[in-house]
Each structure stands twice: as structure tokens, then as C-alpha cells.
């Protein structure tokens, strides 16, 4: 169950933006930028990662849990995978 069926290009663009945000954090730390500015960069990056996680979770639910053509075993497996991810994310 390792595929995304829709919006893959948009997700890749989002990942590239996040990579740019992480690079900006590194640059801020290297340059000795003030804490407030650096914290804002980290907060924005965290928000972007959370948004990415939301998109991928939504696609997983639609494709591997809620899709009407899924067999009961496939639906259960998709749900268990999602539960495992959420547990790890919540730590």
C-alpha cells in the first residue's frame, strides 16, 4: 500500500517547499539569526509538515480504508496501518 493515487505532483511541490524551509532553518542557525526569527521558521516548517501529513492521511483513508471496492481484509489492513502511524505521530 505504498502509492498515492492523486495529487502526486502537488505533494512533490509541497515537499520541495518544505525542503526549502528546512534549508532556511539551517541557514538561520549557521548565521546566528535571532531566536524569534528561527522559531518562526521552525513553526512554519512544522505547519507545512502537518499539512503534508494531513494530505497523505486523507488519501490513505480514501484509498485503503473507505474505498467501497475494498475487501474486508484489505480495509482492516489499511486501518491498522493508519492506526500505527497515528500512534507513532502522537508520541
Choose between 50 and 89: higher pLDDT.
50
pLDDT single digits (tens) 33-63: 999 999 999 999 999 999 999 999 999 999 9
- Let me know how long the chain is: 91
What is the model's pLDDT at position 2?
Answer: 56
**Inside any domain, residue 78:** yes
Domain with 41 in it:
9-89
**Inside any domain, residue 13:** yes
Domain CATH number, residue 54: 1.20.58.1000
**What residue ranges in the chain does DSSP mark as E strands?**
none
What is the model's pLDDT at position 89?
Answer: 83
Choose between 6 and 31: higher pLDDT.
31
d(CA 74, CA 51): 26
**Inside any domain, residue 1:** no
**Inside any domain, residue 64:** yes
**Inside any domain, residue 3:** no
**Inside any domain, residue 71:** yes
**Inside any domain, residue 2:** no
Number of domains in the chain: 1
Amino acid at each position: 500500500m505504498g502509492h498515492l493515487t492523486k495529487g502526486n505532483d502537488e505533494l512533490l511541490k509541497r515537499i520541495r517547499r518544505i525542503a526549502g524551509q528546512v534549508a532556511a532553518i539551517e541557514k538561520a542557525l549557521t548565521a546566528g539569526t535571532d531566536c524569534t526569527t528561527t522559531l518562526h521558521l521552525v513553526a512554519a516548517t512544522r505547519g507545512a509538515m502537518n499539512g503534508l501529513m494531513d494530505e497523505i492521511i486523507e488519501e490513505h483513508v480514501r484509498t485503503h480504508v473507505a474505498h467501497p471496492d475494498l475487501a474486508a481484509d484489505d480495509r482492516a489492513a489499511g486501518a491498522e496501518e493508519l492506526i500505527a502511524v497515528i500512534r507513532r505521530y502522537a508520541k
